[in-house]
Chain A
Amino acid sequence: MGDAVSRQEAGPRLIDWRASVSGGVLIALALVVAFLLDTPWDSVSTFRISRPRDVWAVGNLTVPSQWFNVAASVLLAFLGTRLFLKGGGRWTAVALGIGLVVLAMAFLVWATAGKAISLTGMLQATVVRAVPIALAALGGILCERVGVINIAIEGMLLAGAFAGAMFGSLMGGWAGIICAMITGGVFGLLLAALVITYRVDQIIAGVVINLFVLGLTSYVSSQVFAEYRWLNKASPFRSFKIPVLGDIPLIGPVLFNQNLFVYGALILVTLSTYYLFHTRHGLRARAVGEHPRAADTLGIDVIKTRYAHVIVAGMVAGFGGAWFTLGSVGRFDENMTFGRGFIGLAAMIFGRWHPLGALAAALIFGFADSLQQKLSILNTPIPSEFLSMAPYIATIVVVAGLVGQARPPAAIGKPYVKE
């Protein structure tokens, strides 16, 4: 234990570096906003909020483009300089989060200068795109809180997407979701068996499961789906409006007129926050992740707790995976998750292993994702390939800026051997 503390304290030199790097990034972004996102002083960006037929219609939001971007650049520069000179301390995550949001807004205002887009539509897309990332992050949190690294989240998402499409085509959407969750749970069980019982290196086990799922789903989709197309033709879940709440301007369409996956993700995040931090079992789970031997001494079954949580995490990821097929087009494509699981892990770190934090982080990534889509429609001079890199670059920045700032559960990555 004393050793663990001393290792923690060996960190300050690194932490200075981290704050400087994050600060430097923010300052660089301020320069980007100031010099590259130039618009004429008299141009105005218009954001539509309501559609004409809405019950309570609200006027458009107009922003003077250049003024907004000057303000954004000043704010970024301020945050960056502060971080650079004084170090971030507890505020690095917040500063970085604000910085990324401001950057995204500046991009948006710049791209819409002289044009108009629907803000509601964009935020709606943000929430939709945040769903798989939030669920992946939630799966990661449930694993890591009990001390198991889950790199296999990506594979579990992919397996869920696959199972959702196949069983959804065979037996309908609900069965598809249930089968996706079961499939995710099976891979959770596999991961648990490998790392807990057979003590395989957790990262290797995760990477191998990812490779296995990628191989298996690609094999079946080229071997079977290519021939029997009806196996890969599920009808996706449509969005449904919650009465009254769905009519509130802006908030209504964004939060209360979505499909099952959005509601499911919000409920799961709430439930797991309550579970982890307000119930006895949640406390026990966290104890297993922090100090398994102490937990064992107190009579908590470390092995069983880990198995249970990794399997549940797999089910959550399976549900998130079903989003890719049953929540959008109903068809499975090879490797369609495209790194969302890893972005989810970054969101987990960003959110400091807390479900609500992870949800907030997922929303930022979702915003970047939907922004990229909007920007490519708005015909900006930036090539679409660079725009689609944005979430990945943001992930690197977040991981680099926050690792060590946000402390992972202490027992992470270590197999537990009962004495």
Chain B
Amino acid sequence: MSGEARSSGPAMSPDMKALLVPAIDSRSSWRELFILPLAAMFLAMLIGALIMMATSVAPETILQSFIAMAHGSVGSIHAISETLTAAIPLVLAGLGIGLAFRAGLFNIGAEGQMVVGGLAAAIASFLVTGLSIWLHLPLVLLVGLAIGAVYAAIAGLLKAATGAHEVISTIMLNLISIRLLDYMLRQPFIQKEGRSDPISKAVLETAELPRILEFLDGNLRLHAGLFIMLAAVAVIYWLLFRSKLGFAFRISGENPGAARYAGIRAGLTIVMAMAIAGALAGLAGAIQVSGVLGRATPGFTAGIGFDAIAVALLGRSHPVGILLAGLLFGALEAGGRQMQVDAGVSIDMIGIMQALIIIFVAAPLLVRRIFPPLFRERPRGGEENG
């Protein structure tokens, strides 16, 4: 691959292109898109089982935990509701990270953008009173979206103006956002009355995302954020592949030199891409607060912003791929909780498996070496036999 890129002339950025190939291989084959993630998942489960064995979890418990995972993710209407609920913020933040990827930016700051977005949404949800749900709810979500965009744009501006690498600046912004959250949650106009620990007041009823399956069972947590997520997938798809701005993003990511010759303003593109990524992450934070948690607490984002990086990589920075990857990770999340309850295996296991899936997806050469037949002779088939 990179030999090919190397021979394509000294022009601008064979190197940059080679750097981004694993992330945004736009014309990857059917096998790359489906077999690779499946193989990666299988390997991740295998290694996960080995790690469980190494930490002296009994073999039948390991089996039980995988069954619990399946049961907790798709085994019942309640499980499916949990899976979808967990997938919503993952997909939204993942869309942002994927979009930034397309523009050649690695936004590790989704976590921090979710924190500030969610915090701002929480504040707007109880400080603004007397509005109907039709006004209040959109307002709250928009506040989260806008604050997330502004926060991410800081990293974009720094990159555009000074060349500061967005990876380091977004990580620092993540760490700053955690301190900021702790501070804000202690402010008298935010902190819940009568509490000394950092916890915000509850979201007002007019700012809550309605639960959409309540007519079936009051415990089903799935909320209207689902529709926002689906709409965001469509909008980002349109933006990336049908709009001028998306073209600017993609060309800047794949070939910055060509983008410059085409008269695309690099700085503006960087800031815009980061702002949109941050808007999506901020929206994800606002939806978590308004739809699931009902208030802001320290660590309310629970690492979703980092998991979303994995979702974006697994989804190959394609909106539909991100949707599928987000559903998979949502299922892992919901299944992991069931696993912790049923088998007593810590949910942190899920984090390990997610990282492993990404390692294998990002290293197609490695997976090909492990499962050579899958990528050569047989056109289709399950990798479970491999």
| Residues in B neighbouring A14, C-beta threshold 8 A | 161-163
Interface core residue of A2, A389, A419 (most chain B CB under 10 Å)? A389
**Which chain B residues numbered 159 to 193 have a C-beta less than 8 Å away from chain A?**
161-165, 167-169, 171-176, 179-180, 182-183
| Residues in B neighbouring A338, C-beta threshold 8 A | 175
A211 & B172 in contact (Cβ 8 Å cutoff) = no
| Closest B residue, CB atoms, query A219 | B348
State in angstroms the CA–CA spacing of A415 and B164 once bound together.
Answer: 22
State in angstroms the CA–CA spacing of A340 and B174 once bound together.
Answer: 13
List the interface of chain A (C-beta within 8 A of B): 2-3, 14, 17-18, 21, 151, 194, 197-205, 207-209, 211-212, 214-216, 218-220, 222-224, 338-339, 342, 345-346, 383, 385-386, 388-389, 392-393, 395-396, 399-401, 403-404, 413-415, 417, 419
B161 & A21 in contact (Cβ 8 Å cutoff) = yes
B163 & A404 in contact (Cβ 8 Å cutoff) = yes
| Residues in B neighbouring A396, C-beta threshold 8 A | 158, 164, 168-169, 172-173
| Residues in A neighbouring B309, C-beta threshold 8 A | 207, 211
A342 & B172 in contact (Cβ 8 Å cutoff) = yes
| Closest B residue, CB atoms, query A342 | B171
B162 & A403 in contact (Cβ 8 Å cutoff) = yes
| Residues in B neighbouring A389, C-beta threshold 8 A | 175-176, 179-180
Mark interface residues in B1-42 (1 if CB within 8 Å of A CB, else 0).
111001000111001001111110000000000000000000
State in angstroms the CA–CA spacing of A201 and B12 once bound together.
Answer: 19
State in angstroms the CA–CA spacing of A417 and B365 once bound together.
Answer: 14
Between-chain CB contacts (< 8 Å), 24 pairs: A2-B10, A197-B365, A201-B22, A211-B306, A211-B309, A211-B358, A212-B355, A214-B355, A215-B353, A216-B352, A219-B51, A223-B57, A223-B346, A339-B175, A385-B182, A393-B172, A396-B169, A399-B158, A399-B165, A400-B162, A401-B162, A414-B18, A417-B6, A419-B3
| Nearest chain B CB to A239 CB, angstrom units | 29
| Nearest chain A CB to B155 CB, angstrom units | 9
A388 & B179 in contact (Cβ 8 Å cutoff) = yes
B162 & A18 in contact (Cβ 8 Å cutoff) = yes
B358 & A208 in contact (Cβ 8 Å cutoff) = yes
State in angstroms the CA–CA spacing of A198 and B171 once bound together.
Answer: 26
| Residues in B neighbouring A214, C-beta threshold 8 A | 351, 355
B93, CB-defined interface residue at 8 Å = no
B172 & A198 in contact (Cβ 8 Å cutoff) = no
| Residues in A neighbouring B355, C-beta threshold 8 A | 208-209, 211-212, 214-215
| Nearest chain B CB to A352 CB, angstrom units | 15
B132, CB-defined interface residue at 8 Å = no
State in angstroms the CA–CA spacing of A224 and B346 once bound together.
Answer: 9
B349, CB-defined interface residue at 8 Å = yes
B362, CB-defined interface residue at 8 Å = yes
A215 & B348 in contact (Cβ 8 Å cutoff) = yes
Contact of B168 among A17, A205, A346 (CB under 8 A): A346
| Nearest chain A CB to B198 CB, angstrom units | 10
| Nearest chain A CB to B368 CB, angstrom units | 10
B22 & A339 in contact (Cβ 8 Å cutoff) = no
| Residues in A neighbouring B167, C-beta threshold 8 A | 151, 203, 207
Interface core residue of A198, A224, A395, A413 (most chain B CB under 10 Å)? A198
B255, CB-defined interface residue at 8 Å = no
| Residues in B neighbouring A399, C-beta threshold 8 A | 158, 164-165, 168-169
B163 & A18 in contact (Cβ 8 Å cutoff) = yes
A395 & B362 in contact (Cβ 8 Å cutoff) = no
| Residues in A neighbouring B349, C-beta threshold 8 A | 215, 219, 223
**Beyond A17-B162, A215-B354, A223-B346, is A205–B362 a contact (Cβ under 8 Å)?**
yes
| Residues in A neighbouring B179, C-beta threshold 8 A | 385-386, 388-389
B10 & A3 in contact (Cβ 8 Å cutoff) = yes
| Closest A residue, CB atoms, query B20 | A201
State in angstroms the CA–CA spacing of A417 and B1 once bound together.
Answer: 10
A200 & B168 in contact (Cβ 8 Å cutoff) = no
State in angstroms the CA–CA spacing of A339 and B352 once bound together.
Answer: 19
B108, CB-defined interface residue at 8 Å = yes
| Nearest chain B CB to A151 CB, angstrom units | 6
**Beyond A216-B51, A219-B351, is A199–B168 a contact (Cβ under 8 Å)?**
no
State in angstroms the CA–CA spacing of A14 and B131 once bound together.
Answer: 47
State in angstroms the CA–CA spacing of A399 and B349 once bound together.
Answer: 35
| Closest B residue, CB atoms, query A220 | B55
**Beyond A212-B355, A386-B183, is A403–B165 a contact (Cβ under 8 Å)?**
yes
| Residues in A neighbouring B362, C-beta threshold 8 A | 194, 200-201, 204-205, 208
| Nearest chain A CB to B384 CB, angstrom units | 23
State in angstroms the CA–CA spacing of A415 and B19 once bound together.
Answer: 8
